[in-house]
Amino acid sequence: MNYLIIDRFGLFAGWLVTMAIVVVVTVVILRLLAEVANLNYFGWTYVTLRRMTDPMIVPVRGALRGFRVDPKYAPLVTILITILLGWLALRLTDAVLSTLIGVMSAVQQGAVARIIGHLLYGLLAIYALLIFTRIIFSWVMLTYSNRVMRFLFSATEPFLAPLRRVIPPIGMFDISAFVAFIIIWLFQAAIQGTLLRS
């Protein structure tokens, strides 16, 4: 019964994220069509579309200027970032729910090692997603005044900072996050081969 509830919650979360992606993409496309159709800039339709999309497009436009890319591509990049963030939300939901199912299954079997293994494996998967999300948000140039970016920084910096001190950047590229992913993957493989071994 509990597994059915978790499965239903996973399906609902997936539907919710997919619908949010569809809504954002649709509104951005409508704005692009309004621009192509040369709608009245001060008309109700165009003003409404701008109000709905500016909170997403304006930061992306600023980030593109920082990368010396033409800001006219901001709506397209906004669509891609929306899909990527939706995918991250789905991956995070999957990681949490599969960890929960694994722990519940191990509790029913009375397997203490498997309980610990599922918890550690799930936490590492979530941590890897936090690092990946921080990388994506830093590309969009969200500042640390943003609450989400502050959380991502405080959660991931204790692991990334020592790696950054040990591993020098290659040119202008900081590869500490890449090394962090490899370390997390190795720990997950070790957990799967020991604590989660059937």
Task: Report the chain's terminal Cα–Cα distance, integer Å.
Answer: 24
Would you write out the chain's pLDDT as a tens digit for each of its 198 residues?
A: 577 888 898 899 999 999 999 999 999 999 999 888 887 778 888 889 889 999 889 888 887 887 788 888 899 999 998 999 899 999 999 999 999 999 999 999 989 999 999 999 999 999 999 999 888 877 766 666 778 888 999 999 999 999 988 888 887 778 889 999 999 999 999 999 999 986
CB 128 within 8 A of CB 153: no
Q: What percent of the chain has pLDDT over 70?
A: 96
| Token digits of residue 90 | 């789905």
Residue appearing with tokens 């920084």? 153
Distance CA 89, CA 81 (A): 12
106-134 burial, b at 16+ Cβ within 10 Å, e below that, comes to beeeebeebbebbbbbbebbebbbbbbbb
